[in-house]
């Protein structure tokens, strides 16, 4: 698991090589409002190029404020940041056309078709090539699976289709970085699956995808890297595998003989034995589940069920902060 102090820009002496290979790098990025509230506190973030990066935290933890600072929509109180290797907020006109962003939900004309909405969106972009608008819109709609619904009015779109149209709007030009703020917020399971699959496809094509979310289980399914925020501060960041590596795989036994089962698990040398109402759990360690099950049966334990529980991002967050937040919406 990567400690936050190991991230580029987190103290010490930096060199130009620190930022190589990263699409987003922040150093001490801070936002303090006039009321005195600190929304983001000394954020040192490093988003590897080509990754699907989950930016996690409960609602109100500073995720959207961070995104707005990265895109130049909010002025930081302190700190610095780089987008696609370029110091900001300098030449935004040269960088932001290479960045697609969906912040705080889509907004389209309900009486216009999906295609017509994208035409108006594209017309507002001074860097867009008017000669290629039809081809670019057609390609964007095809990439998000809406080519067949291009002529349908937006008000007739499902929630998942609306979110995919919003993502299509960010793909009207070639993008090296895609920033999505809560892209599955409010979606039903089908819409969530649609957006999840789309994010994977976009990343497979070589675009870095930065996904802000409060849904840990959702991010765990789609992201290669993640950072966890709490009360405006970065708790931890790293690859998903690194974040989960510090949590033990546990075995869970459903049984009416909890005392006897706990004694068997302890005798096997399993650590962290805990008993509850009709179940007993322990860290599996190097033991094989089938060996544990055989020992329980040999010990006279009535085993109603046995499961191996892999660690989750929720386990990581709770272990670091003692708190939990939404894991499945």
Give residue 263's domain range: 250-310
Instruction: Say which CATH number the domain at 216 has.
Output: 3.40.50.300
Sequence-distant (6+) residues with CB within 8 A of 192 are 160, 184, 218, 329
| pLDDT computed for residue 17 by the predictor | 45
Q: 32 with 74, same domain? A: yes
Q: 119 with 258, same domain? A: no
Q: 33 with 127, same domain? A: yes
Cα–Cα dist 177/174, whole Å: 9
pTM here?
0.79
Q: Strands, DSSP E only, in 12-128?
A: 22-32, 38-43, 46-48, 52-56, 78-83, 86-88, 99-102
Report if residue 319 sits inside a domain: no
CB neighbours of residue 137 within 10 Å: 23
Instruction: Say which CATH number the domain at 261 has.
Output: 3.30.70
Q: 176 with 288, same domain? A: no
Q: How many domains does the chain have?
A: 2
Cα–Cα dist 73/56, whole Å: 20
Q: 11 with 86, same domain? A: yes
| pLDDT computed for residue 5 by the predictor | 37
pLDDT in tens, 122-148: 998 888 888 999 999 999 999 888 999
pLDDT in tens, 58-103: 888 899 999 999 999 999 999 999 999 999 887 777 888 899 998 8
Q: 157 with 61, same domain? A: yes
Q: 240 with 255, same domain? A: no
Q: 181 with 302, same domain? A: no
pLDDT in tens, 281-325: 998 888 999 999 999 999 999 999 999 988 888 778 777 766 666
- End of a domain among 212, 245, 278? 245
Q: 176 with 296, same domain? A: no
Q: 53 with 89, same domain? A: yes
Q: 62 with 119, same domain? A: yes
Question: Closest by alpha carbon to 171, among 109, 98, 86?
Answer: 98
Q: 120 with 157, same domain? A: yes
């Amino acid at each position: 698991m990567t400690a936050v102090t190991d991230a580029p820009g987190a103290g010490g002496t930096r060199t130009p090589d620190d930022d190589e290979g990263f699409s987003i790098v922040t150093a001490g990025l801070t936002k303090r409002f006039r009321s005195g509230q600190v929304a983001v506190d000394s954020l040192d973030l490093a988003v590897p190029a080509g990754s699907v990066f989950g930016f996690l935290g409960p609602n109100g933890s500073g995720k959207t404020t961070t995104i707005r600072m990265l895109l130049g929509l909010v002025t930081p109180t302190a700190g610095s940041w780089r987008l696609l290797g370029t110091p900001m907020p300098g030449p935004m006109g040269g960088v932001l056309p290479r960045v697609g962003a969906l912040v705080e939900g889509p907004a389209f004309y309900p009486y216009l078709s999906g295609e017509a909405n994208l035409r108006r969106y594209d017309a507002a972009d001074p860097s867009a090539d008017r000669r290629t608008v039809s081809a670019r819109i057609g390609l964007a709609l095809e990439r998000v699976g809406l080519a067949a619904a291009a002529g349908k009015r937006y008000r007739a779109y499902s929630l998942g289709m609306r979110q995919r149209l919003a993502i299509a709007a960010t793909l009207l030009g070639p993008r090296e970085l895609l920033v999505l703020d809560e892209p599955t917020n409010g979606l039903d399971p089908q819409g969530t699956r649609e957006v999840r699959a789309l994010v994977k496809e976009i990343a497979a094509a070589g675009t870095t995808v930065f996904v802000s979310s409060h849904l840990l289980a959702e991010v765990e399914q789609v992201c290669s890297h993640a950072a966890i925020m709490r009360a405006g501060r970065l708790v931890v960041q790293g690859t998903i595998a690194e974040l989960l590596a510090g949590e033990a795989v546990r075995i869970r036994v459903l049984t009416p003989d909890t005392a006897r089962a706990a004694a068997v698990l302890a005798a096997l040398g399993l650590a962290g034995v805990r008993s509850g109402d009709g179940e007993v759990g322990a860290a599996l360690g190097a033991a094989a589940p089938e060996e544990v099950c055989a020992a329980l049966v040999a010990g006279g334990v009535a085993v109603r069920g046995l499961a191996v529980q892999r660690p989750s991002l929720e386990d990581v967050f709770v272990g670091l902060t003692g708190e939990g937040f939404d894991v499945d919406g």
